[in-house]
Structure 1
């Protein structure tokens, strides 16, 4: 199992969601976040408006996936979130040691 965290542009979130759901991803957590990357630009265009800020709005998507799903999930996120411009985001992958569903006490693959 793996824990995948993707930081994407907020306006790409619905495309990423639709692609992941159509690929059969069972669940995810989404958080509105702010940050900056290597470009450290003070000006960002978001939904047609120009913002001057040190922090740019982003969406953080987190999910647990099986080893069999990992490459497909990563490819789906990249395809759906890419604009080709700086600031498209990042994906981080960690090895997940254990997952437990609280309600049923199922573990690992059964829990996700």
Structure 2
């Protein structure tokens, strides 16, 4: 059993979930998170003033998958979430020592 954690842009969440609709998942959870990667932060404008946001809004999709199906699930996430631009997100695959 493996745990796959995908951190994606919020507006891509539904596309990722649509791609995972028939995926062989043992479980799935979604959490709204904030953070940054290589882009560090961004400048935004609000009422004619610029300000820096240190943490960008993201959505964390956590999935539990059988070892033999990990690559299939990762490819489904990548197909829905990758635009090729910086800030697309990250995917982590970790072993699960016990699953009840």
Structure 2 segments unaligned to the other structure (5+ residues) = 45-50
Equivalent in the alignment of 1:76: 76
1:30-54 CA-partner distances (Å, limit 9, x unpaired) = 000000001213237xxxxxx8411
Shift of 1:27: 3.2
Equivalent residues in 2 for 1:27-106, closer than 5 Å: 27-43=27-43, 52-100=52-100
Shift of 1:71: 0.4
Q: How far, CA to CA, are the matches of 2:27 and 2:78 in structure 1? A: 18
Is residue 20 of structure 1 aligned with residue 20 of structure 2?
yes
Instruction: Give the count of matched residue pairs.
Output: 95
SS at match of 2:27: coil
Q: 1 or 2 for the larger relative contact order (CA 8 Å, sep ≥6)?
A: 2
For the 8 Å contact 2:34–2:56, the answer to whether it is kept is yes
Shift of 1:7: 0.4
Please list every run of at least 4 consecutive aligned residues from structure 1 whose deviation after the TM superposition is greater than 2 angstroms.
Answer: 22-27, 41-44
Q: How far, CA to CA, are the matches of 2:92 and 2:65 in structure 1? A: 13
Equivalent in the alignment of 1:7: 7
1:11-67 CA-partner distances (Å, limit 9, x unpaired) = 0000000101133435310000000001213237xxxxxx84111000000011001
TM-score, length of structure 2 as denominator length:
0.86
SS at match of 2:21: helix
